Amino acid sequence: MKNIVYIIIILFILPSLTSAGEIYTYTDKDGNTVISNEPPPEEVKSKAKKIESYERDSPAAIAAFQMKQRAAEARGFREWQNSQNNSTPTKSAQTSTYDKSQNKRQEIMDKTDRLKKEYWDEVERCRQSKCQVNKNLRDEYFKAIKEDPRTITTTTTTTFKRSRR
């Protein structure tokens, strides 16, 4: 039984060891460089080269290539940054609408703040001299508070039930 297992293992391993093969390189009729483990066609067989061995690049050559790549990437990034900094931003219609709404909101808040100061100064003045606060100022201030986007308003409804006695 062991012999059969050994024979099967040898039959699977032996072909993989012998098929390491040879590598050929040549230029085809379209000018493309072809690297293959199959022999080249007859029409280019005289120009084909058989590659006998392969040598790895030295660590110094690899490091030099990597440095060149990093420098090229950094240069490209700097050029992109400069193009972004030098370009003038274009405003879309949506941005323009947003800016207008923000300006309007700021105007409302400024108006509310101004009226608040005027109203409470008037209230303080009237406390000291026993006068009435200007009704128009009071109404304008409370209207501004309702329009102010910072104001949170709630409505409370109270119902009273009459008790029967």
Number of domains forming the structure of the chain: 1
**How sure is the predictor about 10, in pLDDT bands with cuts at 50, 70 and 90?**
confident
Using CA atoms, how far apart are residues 80 and 66, in angstroms rounded to an integer? 21
Confidence at residue 67, expressed as pLDDT on a 0 to 100 scale? 93
Q: Residue 62: inside a domain, yes or no?
A: no
The pLDDT of residue 11 is 67
Quick check: is 116 in a domain? yes
pLDDT, average across residues 91-105: 73
The set of residues, in sequence order, having a beta carbon less than 8 Å from that of 68 and lying 6+ positions away, is none
Q: Is residue 137 part of a domain?
A: yes
* pLDDT, tens only, 110-164: 998 999 999 888 888 888 888 888 889 889 988 888 888 887 766 667 676 676 6
What's the confidence (pLDDT) of residue 15?
A: 57
pLDDT-based confidence at 24, cuts 50/70/90? confident
Q: Which two tokens stand for residue 61?
A: 């050559």
Averaged over 31-45, what is the pLDDT?
A: 83
Q: Answer yes or no: is 153 within a domain.
A: no
Residue 41: pLDDT over 80:
yes
User: What is the arithmetic mean of pLDDT over 16-30?
Assistant: 72
| Enclosing domain of residue 127 | 101-147
Structural domain contains residue 121: yes
Reported as a pLDDT band with limits 50, 70 and 90, residue 93 is low
Q: Is residue 141 part of a domain?
A: yes
For 53-87, the pLDDT digits (tens) are 667 788 898 999 999 999 999 999 989 888 887 76
Surface-to-core class of residue 141, CB atoms within 10 Å of its CB (0-12 exposed, 13-18 middle, 19+ buried): buried
Residues contacting residue 48 through CB under 8 Å, at least 6 positions apart: 24, 25, 26, 39, 40
Is residue 76 assigned to a domain? no
Question: How far apart are the C-alpha atoms of 150 and 108, rounded to whole Å?
Answer: 10
In this prediction, residue 88 carries a pLDDT of 61
Residue 105 lies in a domain: yes
Q: Which amino acid is at 131?
A: C
